[in-house]
């Protein structure tokens, strides 16, 4: 008889035992696009997300972020709003206007926590918004909420 065993988290697994045989099936890993021009922020955040089991693709400006989102179809985009070449506000507008990328959740990130920035980010098309410096546990909660997953400690 097959007995299902489940493990929750970004790398959710379903293990089935049948006698002495154990079969493990992993849920696909969520692919995140991190659009961030600051090398230190990019490195720190990408490493922490990878340790949590996410696949992280990187873009260093808004234009590159739009192109990578169209070609890679990530599950979620973390978008810095202050970017060179094409800022995060306009990159978000373009992604939400394009049929191929309009349904990808975008979490806007900014160091400028000015009054009205959250509303501006939502108006530009962000599905949620967070401020820098990043509080990682809060960011994980927002990522998992947008992906429809439970948060694991």
Q: What is the DSSP letter of 131?
A: E
What is the pLDDT at residue 117?
Answer: 78
Domain boundaries, the chain: 31-147
pLDDT band at 21 (very low <50, low <70, confident <90, very high): low
pLDDT mean across residues, the chain: 84
Mean pLDDT of 34-47: 96
d(C-alpha 64, C-alpha 41), whole Å: 17
Count CA within 13 A, CB hemisphere, residue 62.
Answer: 19
Q: What percent of the chain has pLDDT over 70?
A: 78
pLDDT in tens, 23-33: 554 556 899 99
Query: What per-residue confidence (pLDDT) applies to 29?
Result: 83
The arrangement of secondary structure in 31-147, i.e. its CATH architecture, is 3-Layer(aba) Sandwich (3.40)
pLDDT confidence of residue 5: 44
What pLDDT digit, counting tens, does each position of 75-88 carry?
999 999 999 999 99
Lowest mean pLDDT among 19-23, 66-70, 146-150: 19-23
Least confident interval from 27-41, 77-91, 104-118, 131-145: 104-118
Q: What is the mean pLDDT of residues 48-63?
A: 96
Cβ(42)–Cβ(36) below 8 Å: yes
Q: Answer with the residue of higher pLDDT: 19 or 52.
A: 52
User: In whole angstroms, how far apart are CA 104 and each of 13, 133, 146?
Assistant: 24, 24, 10
pTM value is 0.80
Nearest CA to 103 out of 69, 130, 129 is that of: 69
The residue length of the chain stands at 153
């Amino acid at each position: 008889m097959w007995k299902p065993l489940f493990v929750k988290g970004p790398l959710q697994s379903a293990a089935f035992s049948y006698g002495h045989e154990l079969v493990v099936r992993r849920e696909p890993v969520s692919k995140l696009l991190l659009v961030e021009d600051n090398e230190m922020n990019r490195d720190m955040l990408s490493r922490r997300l990878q340790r949590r089991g996410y696949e992280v693709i990187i873009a260093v400006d808004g234009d590159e972020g739009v192109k990578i989102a169209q070609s890679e179809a990530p599950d979620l985009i973390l978008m810095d709003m202050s970017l060179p070449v094409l800022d995060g506000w306009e990159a978000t507008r373009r992604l939400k206007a394009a049929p191929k990328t309009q349904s990808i959740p975008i979490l806007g990130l900014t160091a400028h926590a000015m009054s009205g920035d959250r509303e501006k980010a939502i108006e530009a098309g962000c599905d949620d918004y967070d401020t820098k410096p990043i509080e990682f546990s809060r960011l994980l909660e927002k990522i998992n909420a947008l992906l429809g997953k439970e948060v694991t400690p």
